[in-house]
Amino acid sequence: MGGDSRVIDGKAFAARLRERVADAVPAFVERARRKPGLAVVLVGEDPASQVYVRSKGKATVAAGMESFQHVLPAETRQEELIALVEKLNADEAVDGILVQLPLPDHLDDKAVVGRIDPAKDVDGLTAENIARLANNDDALVPCTPQGCMMLLEDRLGDLTGLDALVIGRSQLVGRPMAQLLVNANCTVTIAHSRTRDLPALARRADILVAAVGRAEMVKGDWIKAGATVIDVGINRLDPAPGEERGRLVGDVAFAEAEHAAAITPVPGGVGPMTIAVLLRNTLVAAHRRAGVADPQGL
């Protein structure tokens, strides 16, 4: 992969974004007399989620921000979780609230997320932020699609007039991604599990975003020559003989995409952007809550 100019190095881009965020924190502290704060709420003891929450906490502290972590038992009741969200809404030291999804089955993701103060909704999942994005107003936008957009604009500059296909229509990735691309003047198609003749649609796309969760579903001959491919999928293959864990692959058959002009690898493409954008969104939320103009260059 090294030296291949097609490869979009999300890891390096994310590291630079995290540096820019960290560089902008002291000016905020100077004005607001406090650090920006991010609260992450996890319900249940899923080890992978715990690792993820801990790494978010570490990244938050490394950026010079305050990290608040709330790990609640799996049997937490809906009212208890909502009470915590309300407490965080009222806490002046908290600028961003992220509830790790999906919640255990007995809890209602939408009802809980709906209680987050939209000004602190750094995951961009409340109705107010969805509406603001749809209206092309200043919204807090879900971190992963926002990160994809940054990589696209970094690589392509102005996206006006380009044909974009987004495969996937989740609230977290596909839908906001499509909205961001429309706002950037692309002509956007959204595909999903009921789409007919997906390969033909894909072959027309100058920008192809795959956010499905099916290992290497997008084949080389689905990709138009010169297209820019953003692979959001994270899929673990079954271990090959002698391997302890299977390899991580995306939704795109990376090795078959040699005629793409640019492509994000998995791992090391979109993945690292998510935490970097979470920190960025927290800093932006802190500025807006403090009535300070948005930080520049983020």
Active-site residue (options: 35, 56, 120, 224) = 56
- Cα separation, 130 vs 33, in Å, equals 31
Closer residue to ligand NDP in complex, CB, 92/197: 197
What's the one-letter identity of residue 53?
Answer: V
**267 Cβ partners below 8 Å, 6+ apart?**
234, 248
Please give the biggest Cα pair distance in the chain: 57
Classified as helix, coil or strand, 35 is: coil
* 45, burial (CB in 10 Å: exposed 0-12, middle 13-18, buried 19+): exposed
**33 Cβ partners below 8 Å, 6+ apart?**
none
Active-site residue (options: 100, 117, 120, 231) = 100
Closer residue to ligand NDP in complex, CB, 142/295: 142
Active site residue 110: no
Q: Given the DSSP bridges, would you call strands 248-249 and 235-236 parallel, antiparallel or unpaired?
A: antiparallel
Closest distance of CB 213 from ligand NDP, Å: 3
Q: Give yes or no for a contact between 103 and 71, defined as CB atoms under 8 angstroms apart.
A: no
Closer residue to ligand NDP in complex, CB, 189/195: 195
Write out the E strands in the chain: 37-43, 66-72, 96-99, 163-167, 187-191, 207-210, 228-231, 235-236, 248-249, 262-263
- Cα separation, 71 vs 135, in Å, equals 35
Q: Which residues bind ligand NDP (CB under 6 A)?
A: 144, 167-170, 172-174, 191-195, 198, 211-214, 232-235, 270-271, 274
Closer residue to ligand NDP in complex, CB, 24/212: 212
Active site residue 56: yes
Q: What are the residue ranges of helices labelled H in 63-192?
A: 78-90, 109-113, 127-134, 143-156, 174-183
Active-site residue (options: 117, 121, 123, 231) = 123
Q: Residue for token digits 């960025």? A: 280
Active site residue 69: no
Closer residue to ligand NDP in complex, CB, 28/222: 222
140-149: string of b/e by CB count within 10 Å (b at 16+)? bbbbbbbbbb
Closest distance of CB 174 from ligand NDP, Å: 5
Closer residue to ligand NDP in complex, CB, 44/213: 213
The residues annotated as belonging to the active site are 56, 100, 123
